[in-house]
Amino acid sequence: MTPLALRADPPATPARPRRALLAGSVGNLVEWYEFGVYGCFATVIAAHFFTPGTGGGGAGPLVATYASFALAFFFRPVGAVLFGRLGDRVGRRPTLIAVVGLMTLATTLIGLLPTQAQMGPAAPWLLTLLRVLQGLSAGGEFGGAVALMTENAPPGRRGRYGAWQSFTLALGLLGGAGAATLTATLLSPQALYAWGWRIPFLLALPLGLAALWLRTGLTEPPGRAEPPGRDPAGPTGTARTGEPSADMSSAGEPGAGMPRTATARAVVLGIGRIMGWSAAGYTFLVVLPSYLQSTLGASFREAMIATALANLGFAASILPAGMLSDRIGRRPVMLCGALAVVLLALPLLDLLQDPAAPAPAKAAAVLAAGATVGLLAGPGPAMLAEMFPAHVRCTGLGVAYSLANAVFSGCAGLVVTALVARTGDPDIPAYYAAGACALSVLALAGLRGDDHRRPLR
């Protein structure tokens, strides 16, 4: 019998990959739309929900807002484990329905939540609770959506299909920035501050209902008939040469492959490979609005335009990067993106800080910053999916992604804002993004050149 690790990817009907791609994409768009909106309205949320003057002078409310932001990210690994185990044991479909429903509910409630002036001290706690629920659902979203997309991808197109996860991430962030910009343009500053900021959060409701409708029609991916807890590669746990199996079961269980330490090693390696993507992505795409306002003195509208341009560059490069990785491999494309951030992060911020620099040059700079992150985000989902066998794929890649985002994305706003306020150095965001990408270069260098050609385990 041909070993499972060397079999061709299971055939799929033409409708199945398209439905899986659309269902995974829409749910992911809803998730990242909300995170984009929250990042854009961080300064408004700080004023409404967190007491001024705490935590360090004028920066206190913003630091408290990003602390709430970071807390939600630290619940992502919990969600990745809970919903990942559900996705691996029960199925991708019920998991993806549950996570998008929870995300939609929490986001809508943020748009309806009374402020601290209306409710008192309970308001920031309720906001933080809703952020925790969003963190749990987001932790389960990535693993389930990427597993669904890559397992349904036609042969030779995993990079392209996985890139749609990142592409809809970009569309969600861009949609959030666009909704915030449009709201700020159509409303007066007084109306925006009083009630207009709620509108983009409430728009998540129809988006979430559309995602739920699409996901109720899903079927399980082909090749998911193996019993849970059994390593398809066999008891040796070596499905592919050069990389241990990532079996989540313990060594003492019947049919178990490698012990759980093998999964832990794979998760740590995955974190190293995407930590630069996480840090640079949130520095350039989410933290940028409040950084431009609080540090460089830009207006809210100018900050929104810059953020929209960065997300546009990000979105434009993701799918080409994923498709290119199907041709030449994940390693060269992702290494190029990480090295570009290392080399360009500081010159980019220096250009933004220069009052004499022309506006077109600044626009090109933020577009380029987003594009470099896209080189990491395009091949990234497929690269992670290729590290784990099917029966632990949701959990393994979800935990790796969630931990990387919790540490290097969720803390980005908190760390950058606090350090800039403490040191007065406006280049802190560049050091943060470049440092994380430098470490990612080391981890990415160990990728095999032919992983994109091998079938999923």
pLDDT of residue 259: 54
Average pLDDT over residues 132-137: 87
pLDDT of residue 11: 46
> From 3.40.50.720, 2.60.40.10, 3.40.50.800, 1.20.1250.20, which CATH number describes the 13-217+260-453 domain?
1.20.1250.20
Q: Is the pLDDT of residue 334 over 90?
A: yes
Instruction: Tell me phi and psi for residue 228, to 5 degrees.
Output: -60, 145
Q: Is the pLDDT of residue 70 over 90?
A: no
State the chain's mean pLDDT as an integer. 79
Query: 53: which strand partners?
Result: 57
Residues 6+ apart with CB under 8 A from 356: none
Residues 6+ apart with CB under 8 A from 182: none
Diameter of the chain by CA atoms? 71
Query: 57: which strand partners?
Result: 53
Q: State in Å, rounded, how far the first CA of the chain is from the last one.
A: 16
Q: How confident is the model at residue 340 (pLDDT cuts 50, 70, 90)?
A: very high
Q: Is the pLDDT of residue 5 over 90?
A: no
Would you list the DSSP string of 123-180? HHHHHHHHHHHHHHHHHHHHHHHHHHHHHTSPTT-HHHHHHHHHHHHHHHHHHHHHHH
pLDDT of residue 435: 93
Q: How confident is the model over 424-439, as pLDDT tens digits? A: 888 888 899 999 999 9
pLDDT of residue 59: 55
Q: How confident is the model at residue 320 (pLDDT cuts 50, 70, 90)?
A: very high
What percent of the chain has pLDDT above 90? 17
Which of 5-19, 83-97, 124-138 has the lowest average pLDDT?
A: 5-19
Average pLDDT over residues 363-372: 89
pLDDT of residue 249: 37
Q: Is the pLDDT of residue 240 over 70?
A: no
pLDDT of residue 251: 34
Domain chopping of the chain, boundaries: 13-217+260-453
Residue 174 CB neighbour total at 10 angstroms: 24
C-alpha to C-alpha distance for 288 and 200, rounded to whole angstroms: 19
134-155: b (≥16 Cβ within 10 Å) or e: bbbbbbbbbbbbbbbbbbbbee
